[in-house]
Amino acid sequence: MARGSKEGGATKAVVTDKREAILRAGVRVFAAKGFFNSKVADIAREAGIADGTVYLYFKSKDEILHSIFNRAMADFIEEGRRELEPIDDPTEKLMTIAELHLERLSADRELAIVFQVELRGSTKFMQEFSAAGFAEYLDIIKRTIEEGQESGMFRKDMKPVVCAKILYGALDEMVTNWILSANKYPLPPMAGEVMKIFLGGLLVK
Amino acid sequence: MARGSKEGGATKAVVTDKREAILRAGVRVFAAKGFFNSKVADIAREAGIADGTVYLYFKSKDEILHSIFNRAMADFIEEGRRELEPIDDPTEKLMTIAELHLERLSADRELAIVFQVELRGSTKFMQEFSAAGFAEYLDIIKRTIEEGQESGMFRKDMKPVVCAKILYGALDEMVTNWILSANKYPLPPMAGEVMKIFLGGLLVK
Amino acid sequence: MARGSKEGGATKAVVTDKREAILRAGVRVFAAKGFFNSKVADIAREAGIADGTVYLYFKSKDEILHSIFNRAMADFIEEGRRELEPIDDPTEKLMTIAELHLERLSADRELAIVFQVELRGSTKFMQEFSAAGFAEYLDIIKRTIEEGQESGMFRKDMKPVVCAKILYGALDEMVTNWILSANKYPLPPMAGEVMKIFLGGLLVK
Amino acid sequence: MARGSKEGGATKAVVTDKREAILRAGVRVFAAKGFFNSKVADIAREAGIADGTVYLYFKSKDEILHSIFNRAMADFIEEGRRELEPIDDPTEKLMTIAELHLERLSADRELAIVFQVELRGSTKFMQEFSAAGFAEYLDIIKRTIEEGQESGMFRKDMKPVVCAKILYGALDEMVTNWILSANKYPLPPMAGEVMKIFLGGLLVK
DNA sequence: AATGAATGAGCATTCATTCAT
DNA sequence: TATGAATGAATGCTCATTCAT
């Protein structure tokens, strides 16, 4: 019994390890060469396994990319929720979201590249991604804005979902520019800049 | 002489027509299937010509996509300059930019898809595009913001280039969302929404 | 009438000129790039005419090569007959054949390349060539040897056709080696060397 | 250990078998249709494998032809050296070379076609081949002739390398003619004929 | 589970040839 | 005759996926 469970555990651990290794290798390879120019063999080599082994853990090359997105988004959202929970002030919440967004992606440049570039490489991926984690992420922002409107802190003549998209778009552009600029500057401080405009506007009061 | 010039004109027109047809077909096909999933044969069929004819006008499949970007950006920028010239007020200028951005892309959904999706599908394309028209476009926004800062209309504690990216990112996200939503709403009105936040901020004054 | 014949003459001359130009261009291009790697467009450009014009004079790319062989062999054989006619001594005749062979090909290196290399590039060409001029050429050598045997000058224990092949093969190898050696030495003097062995043998008497 | 080595041997054997099969198929296909007219798919079908498998053993179609040449020349030269070693008399050595040359090629008509036809089908191949095995082969003949000159058996007023080319050229022409004649007669006996002329000359003493 | 040899569908590009002008 | 734009068949090679071991 003990032995059995031990073996089971070991096997499970191994499985998880290989899956992990493939996903990590996928991020590296996709970031370096782009999804369409990456070969499954590249990923296998990077992960230190045989080509065929990839297919014991993933149905296809596509699925590797999907899994990368899904897992990263799930992590991202979970971390977001955890960090946001103790915060009450909507302004502070938005600021935290912006900071997390940029910190997280600047901490893993390769993952950032996959998100900013590969994710957008096909309408199919975009639609799937949108249906998956992105909608949930946008919803968190939207609800924070609604809270701010309810508390009278945020103006009520704006649709929350539109505001959420504006904030997301601005942050997203910061990340894209940072990637293309070859990391010549730190990304996280841009969160404050974005929030200054998003909250206060460009016009002099 | 007249005859000569007439013939020359006709020949030129035919050449232009075929180039045009290929570019238009390219937009349709790339929008529908994505760059990597599009075959040159698809484009040729869509353009009503033989496969080989494509190569009389373009050196490669890549060059077709490049030409689509370059021509669209050149048109876009030229139209922008023309529309902005008579306007003095920086605020009004930004509003015009936002409106043109969304009007133009919502007027040609397939071109919009190519811009929003394919352009971002590879760091290579992004970098080339960034070096080409995008930098110029961002610069127009940036200088308008500088004008507003100089006239005391816009706050001076923000870097103009960062503001430009924020505005661009917000507009870009509007387009992307609109594309993924399958055109369920008109895109141009979003320009006003974006500008309300961009200029006035989300906070109640 | 005069005009008509003039035009006819002119036309004929032009036709001949263009055919000539194409054949000469063919020799240059085939020699430089090989038959399979030469494009009809290369030949047309070299000849200073349009691609399509080639097909007014030749049915196909193959036919250009054929015509090059046939005309060169016809010239070669005709010149050979003319030079051999006044000679009676079979030994002197063979010597003249050997000299003509090497002189002719070393005088036109490009033609030599086409003969030595392209002609042998396909069994099809070889067979056609063999059936055409080559057999006739070999026959001239063979009959000269027969004459020498009849006059008691050449040994009679050898089949004339075999001797002819031996002589031809030796000369042919001289040409091939000369081509591959990038013309570092004059080819015609090799005729004497070949004949010394062919007539006298390698053994000390 | 035994088991391991056995397995290793089996695996190696399979690999070798497939490489062998491709080379053999290459000889057959190239002989039948010529290098440029042969498709890789033809070779694969002839070898009983899938198209892509060819590329597990050879980098390109070119490399298949190269391998055919190199291996055949290496075999040829090795066999030649082995057979010549016990022979002292230069005359006898040359006779053996001539016999081996014709026997070997007449024993594998398809290989002979590839050697006589394809090898000469491009200056590129000829040059590579010349640099590879051919120069070595010619050198063996040349040195045998030098030995004969040193022993006073062969005339000294001839350059050995020229004599070597003459002999090679004569033998080569025998092979080419035999191929084009569709094997109507046995090739090896021609070795004696060639040697009679090469050693004794055509002239009556 | 793991391997990696084998598979074979897929595709950008070339170029001999045609034909409307 | 001459042109050269247009054609479309043809092919070497790649690589995601499978499967016997």
pLDDT in tens, D94-148: 999 999 999 999 999 999 999 888 877 777 777 776 667 888 999 999 999 999 9
Query: What value does the mean pLDDT take over residues D176-180?
Result: 92
Main-chain dihedrals φ then ψ at residue A203, nearest 5 degrees? -70, 145
* Chain-chain contact of D154 with C204 (C-beta, under 8 angstroms): yes
Whether residues A3 and A86 fall in one domain: no
Suggest the residue from D119, D125, D137, D166 to mutate for an interface test with chain C (most C CBs closer than 10 A): D166
Q: How far is the CA of A128 from the C1' of E19 (A)?
A: 50
Residue range A70-83, pLDDT digits in tens: 999 999 999 999 99
B151 has pLDDT over 50: yes
Each residue's pLDDT tens digit, B163-198: 999 999 999 999 999 998 887 899 999 999 999 999
- Per the CB < 8 A criterion, the answer to whether A179 and A112 are in contact is yes
C169 contacts chain D (CB < 8 A): yes
- What confidence category does residue B125 fall into, taking pLDDT thresholds of 50, 70 and 90? confident
Interval C45-59 mean pLDDT? 97
Question: Looking at residue D38, which CATH number applies to its domain?
Answer: 1.10.10.60
Residue nearest to nucleotide F11 (CA to C1'): D39
Q: Which nucleotides in chain E lie closer than 7 A to a protein CB? A: 1-20
pLDDT tens-place string over residues A138-190: 999 999 999 999 999 999 999 999 999 999 999 999 999 999 888 789 999 99
Establish if B115 touches chain A: CB-CB under 8 angstroms. Answer: no
Summary mean pLDDT of chain A: 89
Same structural domain, B50 and B72: no
Percent of chain B with pLDDT over 70: 90
| Model pLDDT, residue A12 | 52
Q: Specify whether the CB–CB gap between C104 and C176 falls below 8 A.
A: no
Last residue of a domain, one of D58, D85, D106: D58
Whether the Cβ atoms of residue C144 and residue C97 lie closer than 8 Å to each other:
yes
Report residue B3's pLDDT band, with 50, 70 and 90 as the boundaries.
Answer: very low
Q: Are residues D171 and D74 in the same domain?
A: yes
Chain segment D63-83, per-residue pLDDT in tens: 999 999 989 999 999 999 999
Confidence of residue A15 (pLDDT cuts 50, 70, 90): low
Q: Which of chain C's residues have a Cβ under 8 Å away from the Cβ of D114?
A: none
User: Residue C69's domain is classified under what CATH number?
Assistant: 1.10.357.10
The mean-pLDDT minimum among B47-51, C96-100, D121-125 falls in D121-125
Residue C7 pLDDT grade (very low, low, confident, very high; cuts 50, 70, 90)? very low
For residues A63-75, average pLDDT: 92
How distant, in Å, are the alpha carbons of C106, C176, C192 from that of C188? 7, 13, 8
Considering the domain architecture, whether residues C66 and C155 belong to the same structural domain is answered as: yes
- Percentage of chain B exceeding pLDDT 90: 73
pLDDT at site B133: 82
Per-residue pLDDT at A10: 45
Query: Nearest 5 degrees, angle CA C3-CA C6-CA C11?
Result: 125
| Residues in chain A within 8 Å Cβ distance of B36 | 36, 121-122
Q: Which nucleotides on strand F sit less than 7 A from a protein beta carbon? A: 1-20
* C-alpha distances in Å from residue D169, one per residue of C96, D166, D177, D202: 19, 5, 12, 17
**Reported confidence tier of residue D154, pLDDT bands at 50, 70, 90:** very high
Determine which of A117-131, A189-203, B55-69, D171-185 has the lowest per-residue pLDDT on average: A117-131
Q: Which amino acid residue lies closest to nucleotide E10, measuring CA to C1'?
A: B39
Residues B45 and B124 in one domain: no
| Nearest chain B CA: its distance from A61 CA (Å) | 15
Domain end: D58, D75, D95, which one?
D58
Q: Is D48 helix (H, G, I), strand (E, B) or coil?
A: coil
Q: Model confidence at A2, in pLDDT bands (50, 70, 90)?
A: very low
Residue A56 has which token pair? 């014991």
CA torsion, ordered D53, D57, D61, D64, to nearest 10 deg: -130
For residues C19-43, average pLDDT: 95
D36 shares a domain with D70: no
Residue A103 structure tokens: 């910190």
Task: Indicate whether A33 and A4 sit together in one domain.
Answer: yes
Residue B44 pLDDT level (bands cut at 50, 70, 90)? very high
Which pLDDT score is estimated for A5? 39
Same domain, A111 and A177: yes
Answer with the residue of higher pLDDT: D53 or A129.
Answer: D53
Indicate whether D91 and D192 sit together in one domain: yes
How many Å lie between the alpha carbon of C22 and the closest alpha carbon of chain D? 22
**CA quadruple A146, A85, A187, A30: dihedral positive or negative?**
negative
pLDDT of residue B6: 39
Q: What is the mean pLDDT of chain B?
A: 89
E-state strands within chain D: none
Assess whether C115 and C188 both reside in one domain. Answer: yes
Chains C and D, touching by 3 or more CB pairs within 8 angstroms:
yes
Distance of B82 CA from F6 C1′ (whole Å): 39
- Give the model's pLDDT for residue C157: 95
Shortest CA gap A172–chain B (Å): 7
Q: Quick one: which residue's CA is nearest to E6's C1'?
A: D53
Query: What does the alpha-carbon distance between residue B87 and residue B75 come to, in Å, rounded to a whole number?
Result: 19
- The verdict on D40 and D6 lying in the same domain is yes
User: Tell me, what's the pLDDT at D131?
Assistant: 66
pLDDT tens for each residue of C100-112: 999 999 999 999 9
Query: Which of the four pLDDT bands, split at 50, 70 and 90, describes residue D182?
Result: confident
Of C58, C81, C97, the last residue of a domain is C58
Yes or no, beta carbons of C148 and D202 under 8 Å apart:
yes
Spanning CA of B26 to C1' of F18, the rounded length in angstroms is 35
Distances (CA, A) of A138 to A105, A131, A166, A196: 17, 11, 10, 20
* Residue C83: alpha-carbon gap to chain centroid: 16
Per-residue model confidence (pLDDT) at position D59: 95
- Measure the CA–CA gap between A136 and A163, rounded to whole angstroms: 15
Per-residue pLDDT at B5: 40
Q: In this model, does residue D2 exceed pLDDT 70?
A: no
Same domain, residue pair B128 and B171: yes
Contacts of B142 in chain A (CB under 8 A): none
Domain membership of residue C118 as a residue range: 62-202
SS3 of chain C: helix, strand, coil, percent, to 5 = 80, 0, 20
Closest listed residue to residue C192, CA positions, set D170, D174, D166, D167 = D166
Element (H, E) at C6: helix C2-33
Structurally, chain A folds into a number of domains equal to 2
Average pLDDT over residues C117-136: 78
Contact D166 C170 (CB under 8 A): yes
Which is nearest to C129 in space by CA: C65, C83, C75? C65
Residue of D nearest to C158 (CA): D193
3-state secondary structure of D58: coil
pLDDT mean over A46-52: 97
Residue B11 in this model has a pLDDT that exceeds 90:
no
> Distance (Å, rounded) from C-alpha A129 to C-alpha A121?
12
d(C-alpha C158, C-alpha D197), whole Å: 8
Inform me whether the pLDDT recorded for B8 exceeds 90: no
Q: For nucleic chain E, which protein residues have CB less than 7 Å from any of its atoms? A: A 11, 14-15, 18, 49-53, 55-56; B 38-41, 51-52, 54-55, 60-62; C 37-41, 51-52, 54-55, 60-62; D 14-15, 18, 49-53, 55-56
Percentage of residues of chain D with pLDDT beyond 70: 90
pLDDT digits (tens, 9 = 90+) for B98-115: 999 999 999 999 999 998
Range name among C117-121, D9-13, D54-58, D106-110 with the lowest pLDDT average: D9-13
Q: What is the CA radius of gyration of chain A?
A: 20
State residue B1's pLDDT score.
37
Q: What percent of chain D has pLDDT over 90?
A: 73
Distance of alpha carbon A172 from the chain centroid? 10
Whether the per-residue pLDDT at A90 is higher than 60: the answer is yes
Residue A91: partners with Cβ closer than 8 Å, 6 or more residues away = A148, A153, A199, B203
Q: What is the pTM of this model?
A: 0.86
Phi and psi angles of residue B182, each rounded to the nearest 5 degrees, phi first: 65, 40
**Average pLDDT of every residue of chain C:** 89
How far B39 CA lies from chain A's nearest CA (Å)? 14
